[in-house]
Amino acid sequence: DAGVIQSPRHEVTEMGQEVTLRCKPISGHNSLFWYRQTMMRGLELLIYFNNNVPIDDSGMPEDRFSAKMPNASFSTLKIQPSEPRDSAVYFCASRRLAGVANEQFFGPGTRLTVL
Amino acid sequence: QQQVKQSPQSLIVQKGGISIINCAYENTAFDYFPWYQQFPGKGPALLIAIRPDVSEKKEGRFTISFNKSAKQFSLHIMDSQPGDSATYFCAASNVGDQFYFGTGTSLTVIP
């Protein structure tokens, strides 16, 4: 299995630009999570989906952030407009909702730098 | 309100020593308690997990001790090795729900 795939791995952009992060979950997984990691705030849950439906987006910082999951094999996290304080590593994780199985599998992350 | 509190923030241990990281949780309904290990430049990966029906789980050099009445659980790394140097996160959840992660512990094992 290829694991969770994220792209790009690194993104450098200027303040005010639109940024789109992409995630392909593990095949057969039906739950997807977006996290943000910084030194100051640690690992923060931004939003998660079950069966492509957003369940909890209370962690999304503000309206500049939006996430979609149009199908079971693809999700995007968009920041528009981006700001320097959005600089962080963004992780996508997926999980298979079945019985007592609960492990989340993380992707390698996207390191975002907003200048 | 922080659902899971983790300590210490950083830990330095000599090779061969025991590393201990502690976590405390608030919600008594939580029924899944994983520990994740993260190396620099990588995503977190599941190390070991426990459910509240047992007080201890051991996998190789890694042991989770769980105290349901105190709402606490800890990770013990026996015979710590330089290769164990990483950041460790505890978490708690209900099955099928989101994870509530601790703030992480940076472990350095000195040769």
Start-end of H helices in B1-111:
none
Phi, psi dihedrals of residue B101, rounded to the nearest 5°: -90, 150
Q: What's the rounded Cα separation, in Å, for the pair B109 and B111? A: 6
Tell if the CB–CB gap between A100 and B44 is shorter than 8 Å.
no
Sign (positive or negative) of CA dihedral A24, A26, A32, A34: negative
Distances (CA, A) of A21 to A16, A63, A104, A111: 16, 16, 19, 10
Q: What's the rounded Cα separation, in Å, for the pair A11 and B27? A: 38
- The pLDDT tens digits along chain B (111 residues) read 679 999 999 999 999 999 999 999 999 999 999 999 999 999 999 999 999 999 999 999 999 999 999 999 999 999 999 999 999 999 999 877 899 999 999 999 999
pLDDT in tens, A57-103: 999 988 999 999 999 999 999 999 999 999 999 999 999 887 666 88
What pLDDT score was predicted for residue B110? 97
Residue A39, min C-alpha distance to chain B (Å): 10
Q: Does B104 touch chain A (CB under 8 A)?
A: yes
Residue B98, min C-alpha distance to chain A (Å): 8
Distances (CA, A) of B69 to A25, A104, B25, B80, B94: 37, 27, 11, 29, 17
Instruction: For residue A103, give the nearest of B41, B46, B101 by CB distance.
Output: B46
Q: What's the rounded Cα separation, in Å, for the pair B73 and B93? A: 13
pLDDT band at A8 (very low <50, low <70, confident <90, very high): very high
**Cβ neighbours of A52 (radius 10 Å):** 16
Number of A to B CB contacts under 8 A, please give it: 48
A43, A91, A96, A110: best to mutate for the B interface, most B CBs within 10 A: A43
